Amino acid sequence: MIQEQLLTELQELEVSLHQPAVRRSVTELDRLLHPRFREFGRSGRSYTKGDVLADLPEEEESFVVWSQEFEVEPLVEGWALLTYKSAHVGVQGELTRHTNRSSIWQHTARGWQMLFHQGTPCEPFEPVQPSSSIERTATGK
């Protein structure tokens, strides 16, 4: 798979995890998250796949996420690192909770699954015009 195709596919999968319909679906979360999934959240908390499957479908809060500057780095066959910046979009259109994000994806018999994710607070950034509609999404986390 060429790098541009890999970037498009993983970006779409990553952004789908921002969608309330996916975040509230144990079936979809189970499909997208590797059995050994681990996250170090922006808050500093650590999460397992079990935590995510138990907690995310119960979330009621919903907000829009702005994401940009997606980059992919193939690691070895079937493994890739995806990085990007994200922020929450406030009611006035302002960006808050600026975050550097990284995910490790593994291609398994079930397709691409996220094995690891980390969110780290960062300095505010200026939004760039999205190159596609998948970069601005609604989320519950």
Show the domain range for 100: 3-139
Beta strands in the chain (DSSP E): 33-40, 46-48, 63-74, 79-89, 95-108, 111-121, 136-139
Here the CATH number for the domain that contains residue 124 is 3.10.450.50
Structurally, the chain folds into a number of domains equal to 1
Give pLDDT, residue 138. 40
Task: Please state the pTM of the whole predicted model.
Answer: 0.87
**Burial degree of 92 (CB within 10 A; 0-12, 13-18, 19+):** exposed
Question: Across the chain, what does the average pLDDT equal?
Answer: 89
Residue 20 has pLDDT above 90, yes or no: no
**pLDDT band of 65, cuts 50, 70, 90:** confident
Residue 31 has pLDDT above 60, yes or no: yes
Q: CA 74, CA 94: separation in Å to the nearest integer?
A: 33
